[in-house]
Every structure is written in structure tokens, then in C-alpha cells.
């Protein structure tokens, strides 16, 4: 069978879970089909993050992201991919009220988008909900540490674990979501020694973002690492600088339109 005819199979939830302590897991966010198709070639899982509210729609936080927006972007990412596991964030207000509410919304997300898993924020306080979902066939990725949906309570995007007296609480959160059945846990915005302890304390993969290189995997917001946002957190490394390149291209286009250099003969149709 030729390489062109080989069936590309999606990475599965058990395959991600089994990567604990093995080859580091590669992940990025994506919100639309064309970038997802690029990321799909390199990432083990793609997160359709509620960060899309800030990145794509200019919101000040993720709190205002509605469920239907997650579904719309989730559909686009699934359409654009063949290989990576697709995880869709459950937005603020769609799962906290009760396990039953969480199941209804998670099931809708999976049915409408055809994603393979959902992600929700919260540690021990969400363990009952995670267990309820997993028992009913909804794979769950957990998210602890700096949880962006809780920034109004936290008082902003603040690094967690600077006070060592809080470490046991964060470790307990990680253990609680693992015991509840989460197949992986995002560890965001925590001091490196704490992230290392969390990774050692649980038997599911930890996915770091502003955490530690010793986590079982890493994730970044695609637009941040491509240099499309003028300001990014300290933990982001810019692997590209596309913002200025895009602006330069737009400016060149505008100049050529004004000077009538565009469209040229090669850009128009004739009757011959």
C-alpha cells in the first residue's frame, strides 16, 4: 500500500494517557480549520481553547465565551484535522452548576463538533463532575493551577504556588482529578518546583503551560508563539514573528491598490 493510500488514524485518549513519563506530548491551541490543518501534522492533541474569546474576538477574559462559540470553532478544527486528538474547552457557566448540567453540555459539544474529549477547569471541587462525565463516556482533560475562568476571584492572571503553604492544595487538586478519571491535566501558571511535584504525584500526564519542562507535555496558544499578539506572558517563547510580516504585506497591498499596480495583467481575466 502506498503512503498516499494509508489511512491516517486519530490519536486516542488512551494513547495520550499512556504517554505518562514517556515521549513528551506536543500540543497547541487552534480555532479554525486552516491553522488546525498545519498544527495537525505536528501536535498530539489540539485544544480548542476558550482563549479564543480573547484571541479571536477581543474579549478581556474567557468568562464571556458562550457555548455556541466553542461549538462553532470546534467544528472548524475537527474539519481541518485528521491525526491529532481534538479537545474542546467547556466555557464558564456550562458545567459548574451540577454534574447533570455538565453532562448535557459536554455531550452536546461532542455530538455537535465530533471532538474526542472536553476540558474543564477546577481541581478537587470538580472531581465529582469529572467522575460523572467519565462514567458516562465523556473523556475529560482537567485544568488546575491558574484557571483563567476564575480570574475574577483570583484578582487577575496570577502565578500560583509562590507561597509554599499552598502547594499541598494544588497537589491535592491534581490527585483528585486523576482519581476521578481525568486522562490528563493541564497545569497552568505555577512555579516550577510545584509543577515538578504535581507531575510526580499523579499517574496521568501533566500538560504544562507556564509550569515546568519536566511536565509530560507542553501547550501554548498558537497565536502567541507565532508572534501575532503584541504582548505575551513570560512563559511564551515566540517561534515566529508573523504580526509585523502580516502588517508589511497588508501595507504593500494597500500601496499597490492606490497606485493601480494591483491587479496586474496576470490577476485579471480576459475574453481570449
Per-position b or e across 226-260, b if 16+ CB within 10 A of its CB: bbbbeebeeebeeeeeeeeeeeeeeeeeeeeeeee
How many residues are given for the chain?
Answer: 272
Q: Which three cell numbers stand for residue 67?
A: 457555548
Per-residue model confidence (pLDDT) at position 96: 97
Give the DSSP H or E segment for 33: helix 33-39
Per-residue model confidence (pLDDT) at position 184: 98
Q: Does 148 have pLDDT greater than 80?
A: yes
Rounded-to-integer distance, Cα 210 and Cα 187, Å: 8
Q: Set out the domains of the chain in order of their start, with CATH numbers.
A: 3-240 (3.20.20.60)
- 99-124 pLDDT, tens per residue? 999 999 999 999 999 999 999 999 99
Q: Which three cell numbers stand for residue 140?
A: 475529560
> In the structure, what pLDDT confidence band is assigned to residue 98 with cuts at 50, 70 and 90?
very high
> In the structure, what pLDDT confidence band is assigned to residue 8 with cuts at 50, 70 and 90?
confident
Q: Which residues contribute to the annotated binding site for Mg(2+)?
A: 50, 89, 121
Per-residue model confidence (pLDDT) at position 1: 47
- Compute the average pLDDT of residues 236-256: 96
Q: Which three cell numbers stand for residue 114?
A: 465530533
Per-residue model confidence (pLDDT) at position 2: 52
Q: Which residues contribute to the annotated binding site?
A: 50-51, 89, 119, 121
Sign of CA dihedral 185, 191, 192, 193: negative
Q: Please give the positions annotated as active site.
A: 188
- Compute the average pLDDT of residues 180-187: 98
Q: How far is CA 58 from CA 27, 65, 121, 227, 228, in A?
A: 23, 11, 21, 16, 13
Strand 45-48, strand 184-188: pairing: unpaired
Q: Which of 64, 72, 67, 74 is nearest to 95 (CA)?
A: 67
> In the structure, what pLDDT confidence band is assigned to residue 158 with cuts at 50, 70 and 90?
confident
Q: Which residues contribute to the annotated binding site for 3-methyl-2-oxobutanoate?
A: 50-51, 89, 119
Per-residue model confidence (pLDDT) at position 272: 74
Rounded-to-integer distance, Cα 177 and Cα 202, Å: 9
- 190-225 pLDDT, tens per residue? 999 999 999 999 999 999 999 999 999 999 999 999
Q: Which three cell numbers stand for residue 65?
A: 465565551
Percent of the chain predicted with pLDDT > 70: 97
Mean per-residue pLDDT over the chain, rounded: 95
- Compute the average pLDDT of residues 152-178: 91
> In the structure, what pLDDT confidence band is assigned to residue 31 with cuts at 50, 70 and 90?
very high
Q: Does 74 have pLDDT greater than 60?
A: yes
Q: How far is CA 8 from CA 82, 139, 155, 206, in A?
A: 7, 21, 45, 26
Amino acid at each position: 500500500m502506498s503512503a498516499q493510500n494509508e489511512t491516517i488514524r486519530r490519536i486516542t485518549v488512551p494513547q495520550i494517557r499512556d504517554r505518562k513519563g514517556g515521549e513528551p506530548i506536543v500540543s497547541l491551541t487552534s480555532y479554525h480549520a486552516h491553522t488546525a490543518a498545519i498544527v495537525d501534522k505536528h501536535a498530539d492533541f489540539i485544544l480548542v481553547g476558550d482563549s479564543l474569546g480573547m484571541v479571536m474576538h477581543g474579549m478581556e477574559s474567557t468568562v464571556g465565551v458562550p457555548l455556541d462559540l466553542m461549538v462553532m470553532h470546534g467544528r472548524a478544527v475537527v474539519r481541518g484535522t485528521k491525526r491529532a486528538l481534538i479537545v474542546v474547552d467547556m466555557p464558564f457557566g456550562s458545567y459548574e452548576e451540577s454534574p447533570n448540567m455538565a453532562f448535557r453540555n459536554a455531550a452536546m459539544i461532542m455530538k455537535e463538533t465530533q471532538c474526542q474529549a472536553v476540558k474543564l477547569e477546577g481541581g478537587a471541587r470538580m472531581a465529582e463532575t469529572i467522575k460523572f462525565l467519565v462514567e458516562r463516556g465523556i473523556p475529560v482533560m482537567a485544568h488546575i493551577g491558574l484557571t483563567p475562568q476564575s480570574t475574577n476571584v483570583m484578582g487577575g492572571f496570577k502565578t500560583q504556588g509562590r507561597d509554599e503553604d499552598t502547594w499541598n492544595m494544588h497537589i491535592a487538586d491534581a490527585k483528585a482529578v486523576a482519581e476521578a478519571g481525568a486522562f490528563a491535566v493541564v497545569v497552568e501558571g505555577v512555579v516550577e518546583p510545584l509543577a515538578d511535584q504535581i507531575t510526580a504525584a499523579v499517574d496521568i500526564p501533566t500538560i504544562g503551560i507556564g509550569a515546568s519542562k519536566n511536565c509530560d507535555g507542553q501547550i501554548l496558544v498558537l497565536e502567541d508563539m507565532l508572534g501575532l499578539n503584541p504582548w505575551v506572558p513570560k512563559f511564551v517563547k515566540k517561534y515566529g514573528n508573523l504580526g509585523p510580516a502580516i502588517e508589511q504585506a497588508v501595507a504593500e497591498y494597500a500601496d499597490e491598490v492606490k497606485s493601480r499596480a494591483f491587479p496586474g495583467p496576470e490577476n485579471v481575466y480576459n475574453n481570449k
